[in-house]
Amino acid sequence: MLRITAARGVLGALLVPLALTGCGGESGLSKAELTKQADAVCKRHYEKISAGANKLLAGGKLPTPQKFGRFAHQTLIPEYTAQIRELRELKDFAEPYKTWLANSEATRAKIMKKPALITNGANFVVVNAESDRLGLSRQCHVGPS
C-alpha cells in the first residue's frame, strides 16, 4: 500500500506541471486573436498614412519630388516603423508571422533608402502576399493597391 501511495505521489508531481503546460499555461495568442490584434494595429497606421496621402494628393495633382519626400520621411516611414514595432510586441506568434515581420523590416529599410519605391506596388508583391497568407487585412499591405 505504501508503494502505491508513493507512486501516486510521484505520478501526481509529474502530472501537475504537464497539466499546467497543456491547460492555460500557454501565453500565445490564437491565430484568430493574433489576426484581430494585428489588423487593429495596421488599421491605425493605415488611416494616418492615408490621411497624409489624401492631403498630399488634394487637388488631383501629383506632388513634387520634394513634397513626396517630405511625406515619406514625416508620415509614411515613421508610421510604417511604428506599425512594425507594435506588431512585434504581439507575443508568441508562429514562424510565418516572424518571416512576414522580417520581410516588412527589410521593406522598410529599402523605403528609407529610396522613398520613391513606395509608388510602385510591384516592389511589395512578396511582403503583401505573405500578409494575405496570414489572413491579415489589406490595411497591412505596403504600397499602392
**61 part of a folded domain:** yes
Number of domains in the chain: 1
Can you state the angle between helices 95-113 and 125-133, rounded to 10 degrees? 150
Helices (H), 57-120: 65-71, 77-89, 95-113
Cα 71 to Cα 115: distance, rounded to the nearest angstrom: 9
> Can you give the C-alpha Rg of the chain in angstroms?
23
What pLDDT, in 10s, does the model give residues 29-87? 788 999 999 999 999 999 999 999 999 999 898 899 999 999 999 999 999 999 999 99
**16 part of a folded domain:** no
**107 part of a folded domain:** yes
Determine the 3-state secondary structure of 91 from DSSP: coil
What pLDDT, in 10s, does the model give residues 78-125? 999 999 999 999 876 788 999 999 999 999 999 999 999 999 999 999
Instruction: Give me the pLDDT at residue 27, please.
Output: 54
Q: Are 93 and 38 in contact (CB under 8 A)?
A: no
This prediction's pTM? 0.76
Cell triple for residue 78?
A: 515613421
| Helix or strand (DSSP H, E) at 46 | helix 31-56
The answer to whether residue 136 scores a pLDDT higher than 80 is yes
Average pLDDT, the chain: 82
**62 part of a folded domain:** yes
**15 part of a folded domain:** no
Name the residue range of residue 114's domain: 29-140
**125 part of a folded domain:** yes
**92 part of a folded domain:** yes
